[in-house]
Amino acid sequence: MPTVPDGFVAGVRATLPLLLGLIPFGLVAGVAAVDAGLSPAQAVGLSAIVFAGASQLATVDLLAKDASLPVIVVTAVVINLRMSMYSASIAPYFEALRRRWSALYAFVLTDMSYALAIAEFTDEAGDDAPDAADQPAPDGGADGSGHRWYYLGAAVFMWLVWQLATIVGVVLGASIPESWGVSFAVPLVFLSLLVPELSDRPRIVAALVGGSVAVAGAAWPLNLGLLGGALTGVVAGVAVEGREAT
């Protein structure tokens, strides 16, 4: 009888405290999708395929405003650009495996799964630098399989919980009268995600510049205000960070 790898179980166990935030977020995503006019099947499909809370909410908000498809796609990509940095950081730990598993690793990558995995791997290596993976820790296994199972345990379990939470949100959203206007939950969730991130000057500048442009561009055609705010916010934050580094 096949047994579940210890690393997979450890990854699942590590995610449990994070469910306190993940489940309400998934509920809001489901409710907001239905409130924006998506059918239950469309809402669940969006959640299962995209699997990215912030970009899902942005997508739903733009769909509700009848934005064009290119604007919606570009906005979601810009919001998720941070995933490329996560991928570059965590890839060395899967060097021996990533050709066979890279698609699955990439699909289930989120802020939380990355944070859990990179903390676990660097702790094993006794060094905070990702390059320490060049000498795999004992728990990682000679071929890095321990790292693989820990990551998959955390990431896949969060994907499953997110889908269940979204489905519950879709059911609840479908039963809520339109007159209740539950769409107010979307900006509230974004604010709850934003405020804890305002920890230094570049991030504060990025938020102020991006938010100002988005508000000023609320009446722009094709709902380009949000995309313009995201792009200018990123540029402003990078510019301030670069100036501080010199």
What pLDDT score does 13 carry? 93
pLDDT of residue 98: 62
- 138 dihedral zone (left: phi>0; alpha: psi -120 to 50; beta): alpha
Contact 40, 174 (CB under 8 A): yes
Return the domain boundaries, the chain: 6-179, 198-246
Question: What are the helix and strand counts (H, E) for the chain?
Answer: 12, 0
pLDDT higher than threshold 70 for residue 144: no
Model confidence at 164: pLDDT above 90:
yes
What pLDDT shows up at residue 158?
Answer: 92
The 10s digit of each residue's pLDDT in 186-208 is 566 566 656 776 778 888 888 89
The conformation of residue 167, written as its DSSP 8-state character, comes to H
Confidence of residue 183 (pLDDT cuts 50, 70, 90): low
**144 with 96: CB under 8 angstroms?**
yes
| Digit-coded pLDDT (tens) for 75-86 | 888 888 878 878
Single pTM value for the model: 0.70
What is the per-residue pLDDT across 95-143, written as a single tens digit (0 to 9) for each? 776 676 788 888 999 888 888 888 888 876 554 444 433 433 335 554 4
Inform me whether the pLDDT recorded for 163 exceeds 60: yes
Taking all residues of the chain, what is their mean pLDDT, rounded to a whole number?
79
pLDDT at 122: 81
Higher-confidence residue of 181 and 40: namely 40
Mean pLDDT of 36-47: 89
Among the residue ranges 88-92, 139-143, 164-168, 230-234, the one predicted with the least confidence is: 139-143
Q: What is d(CA 198, CA 237) in angstroms, rounded to the nearest whole number?
A: 11
User: What per-residue confidence (pLDDT) applies to 160?
Assistant: 95
